[in-house]
Structure 1
């Protein structure tokens, strides 16, 4: 059975608190594990959350500020220490390649993991396969990219219709691959299955890319460093408020909004929830460290999930 969930490893911004570690998020997507922005302490948070190094198949960095990357050396060394056999693909802004190299080789260790670097220089798809992983440039004082995972639309087979036409076993696979089997068309024995979408938006001001990444996302993980009372500070430092994040979700047709990356200046997380509720009437999660958030179940029909 497939697993699609977000494991929250850290939710603080630049300064951690007693209850919030710096950033870190693992998206479990069927057989893949995408680790986003491993900040300082990520390796220990993985242990506490029950995440193994072998779970990681991709590392995605939005930008090279310390609260998003200082956990990278430990994670990379753990891949070798635990003798991870599969390749691990690392995506990061090309302009920060020198930082990535410094972090990758921060100390001496016996490197045996297969870590493959994929610097990002422009907007667009950066990986394809069972899903497409896209990146778009955000608006922050240093170059930053957001990420978007898009699963292609498919079809759900209808067992009753298959039985009516005497189709079973290997013939089902052949019908799925070729689109027809004798006089039976694939659409005769199946219904459309909309693909799911996940978006990850960290440090940025409002910009077109924020909306493009968020469009029709089943789950949007987005920074909300500030509250609306500090909108000017958010703009000055290249961040979003909870109010702005919620408006993006509402205007982009998001199903589930996950707020994170909170400034230490706000001790009460309820304020983020209250501010977001005023703008967005969908599901809202004010992320907590070590929380597991399930990706919403599939939309019921393509009409509920139109192409952007």
Structure 2
């Protein structure tokens, strides 16, 4: 089970009903935060969550509306009695940027570990999250993130019994361990079926439509994607500023064959967001407007 909560959906500047960009993931008691715009710690509290269990913070890029909330957020984590290390992931320059922001938050009761992205694409695993970071097309170095929760195959009881394996060895095999019994070695693949469909969420803001985004988002249960502009006359501005329109985001969702699209990172000049959604849904029917506090609990598909 994977919880996803949009904490902030505004772009460029916060608004009375929208904090700046941030999104929370929760899995097996460990939290993962993508971006930390101004107001993130307030938005987190408004959504009913604590900063303490957040072990990983992924930053897409270093524009202020994506990182300006970080010093206060780290302080709140420390004030909530966290002592375990926190891993921060981001593009080149990560440690310099975070340490510069920490001038106003120098004393923390936990260690910060840095994972600086070096390649156009990187895959890594942390706290059960399988993360794919991929470079997108903004006017500064910027990454999107796909978060996967894989699902193991079913344990084959009949095969285990045929092999004569006692029940006490079943659980270690299910957990991926190799066991020995009566002089023979048994590996998980001998008693586990093929991997089943897991859960996947892709998050991307501040980019033009890119092949890397479409490919990374393929088959996602949820795509959270920027829609900075929706007005017909803003396409030129979107191209100039390396952002996307509602309609371009919908086309990405369609091409990536995702289950659902949440639009986010809206321009502060945009009003009447809902009136644009009919045209968006004509392109991708499962499109929805993001709102601060929008929450979904994703569970593995029934079989």
Shorter-chain TM-score: which interval? 0.7 to 0.9
Q: How far did 1:260 drift?
A: 0.6
- 5 Å-filtered alignment, 1:85-100, equals 85-95=83-93, 97-100=95-98
1:5-26 deviation line (CA, Å, top 9, x unaligned): 2112111111222211111111
- 5 Å-filtered alignment, 1:97-176, equals 97-105=95-103, 107-129=104-126, 130-157=128-155, 169-176=167-174
* Match of residue 234, structure 1, among 238, 241, 261: 238
> Aligned partners of 2:210 and 2:246: how far apart in 1?
15
* Match of residue 252, structure 1, among 244, 252, 256: 256
Q: TM-score, normalised by structure 1?
A: 0.85
Q: How far did 1:294 drift?
A: 2.5
1:232-253 deviation line (CA, Å, top 9, x unaligned): 1111111011111111111111
- Correspondence 1:54 to 2:52: yes
How many residue pairs get aligned? The number is 296
Q: How far did 1:109 drift?
A: 4.5
1:64-91 deviation line (CA, Å, top 9, x unaligned): 1111111001011122222213221001
> Aligned partners of 2:267 and 2:242: how far apart in 1?
13
| Pair 121,161 (structure 1): closer, same or farther in 2 beyond 3 Å | closer
8 Å contact kept, 1:95–1:143 = no
8 Å contact kept, 1:95–1:121 = no
> What secondary structure sits across from 1:73 in the alignment?
helix
> What secondary structure sits across from 1:278 in the alignment?
helix
Gaps of 5+ in 1: 302-308
- 5 Å-filtered alignment, 1:196-275, equals 196-227=199-230, 229=232, 230-275=234-279
* Match of residue 12, structure 2, among 11, 14, 28: 14
Q: How far did 1:97 drift?
A: 4.1
Aligned to 2:42: 44
Q: TM-score, normalised by structure 2?
A: 0.86
8 Å contact kept, 1:14–1:67 = yes
> Aligned partners of 1:30 and 1:86: how far apart in 2?
16
8 Å contact kept, 1:120–1:126 = no
Q: How far did 1:268 drift?
A: 1.5
* Match of residue 298, structure 1, among 294, 297, 300: 300
Q: How far did 1:259 drift?
A: 1.0
1:249-276 deviation line (CA, Å, top 9, x unaligned): 1111111211111112222221343232
- Higher mean C-alpha deviation, range 271-280 or range 153-162: 153-162
RMSD of aligned residue pairs (Cα, Å): 2.9
> Aligned partners of 2:54 and 2:201: how far apart in 1?
17
| Pair 160,267 (structure 1): closer, same or farther in 2 beyond 3 Å | farther
- Higher mean C-alpha deviation, range 43-52 or range 146-155: 146-155
Q: How far did 1:103 drift?
A: 1.1
